[in-house]
A and B are shown apart, each in its own frame.
Chain A
Amino acid sequence: SQQGEEDPQALSIQEGENATMNCSYKTSINNLQWYRQNSGRGLVHLILIRSNEREKHSGRLRVTLDTSKKSSSLLITASRAADTASYFCATAVSGSARQLTFGSGTQLTVLP
């Protein structure tokens, strides 16, 4: 079963623009994580936000978490061609923290 669902499934933007991806989930979580996957490679952890946090920044990344709406967003500012990748959210479910549950991902294409 997929706990997190990303939206949109695919996003194409010009270099320099901002990219926003959303993640919705179904049950209470302990934390939510975002990962990037370049074509043919493994996932790389980007940022972790805990359920008692509302916003977190890391370089050009900004993640928000709204536990009342069970949703999170990932904003990449001033995008670059190198940001082209698939982005996944993953949730650690409260009370059952034995695994991360991944969404199906957003494919981001940044055009030069």
Chain B
Amino acid sequence: NAGVTQTPKFQVLKTGQSMTLQCAQDMNHNSMYWYRQDPGMGLRLIYYSASEGTTDKGEVPNGYNVSRLNKREFSLRLESAAPSQTSVYFCASSPAGQFGHQPQHFGDGTRLSIL
């Protein structure tokens, strides 16, 4: 019953460093998403992947890249971290169907601080 698993759970980076956030789901879902959550705000979509082999930009894609490695895994990369990217990052997945019409299943997040 793992659902959506995110690693790492916590990370501290220095400005300019790079890192990759990992996400894996075991529910055989087609669609996967990366969000960021900042204090007092809802989730904002960074990138999503409708299906294996496709990725699209969301609301706030600048400074990020993604890779849909296979149906299970969707990674988020920060090439040159900036303090403005300090946030909690959530990965989610949903079954096949028109986007937004299916409930999304979330991981427990990666708390990222950039000094």
Contact = CB atoms under 8 A, between A and B. Distances in A.
Given A98-B56, A98-B99, A100-B100, A42 B109 contact: yes
Interface residues of A, number: 26
Contact of A42 (B40, B56, B98, B107): B107
Interface stretch (A14-22, A71-79, A101-109): A101-109
A18 B99 CA distance: 33
Interface string A1-43: 1101000000000000000000000000011010000001111
Contacts, number: 68
A2 B105 CA distance: 20
B74 interface: no
Given A42-B108, A45-B105, A98-B56, A88 B100 contact: no
A33 B103 contact: yes
A92 interface: yes
Contacts of A44: 106
A99 interface: yes
A30 B102 CA distance: 11
Given A30-B101, A92-B100, A102 B90 contact: no
Contacts of A45: 103-105
Contacts of B48: 98-99
A97 B42 contact: no
Interface string B35-51: 10000111111001010
Contacts of A65: none
Interface residues of B, number: 27
A100 B103 CA distance: 10
Contacts of A111: none
A42 B100 contact: no
Contact of B98 (A41, A43, A97, A104): A97
Nearest to B40: A104
Nearest to B105: A45
A93 interface: yes
Contacts of A85: none
Interface of A: 1-2, 4, 30-31, 33, 40-45, 48, 88, 90, 92-93, 97-105
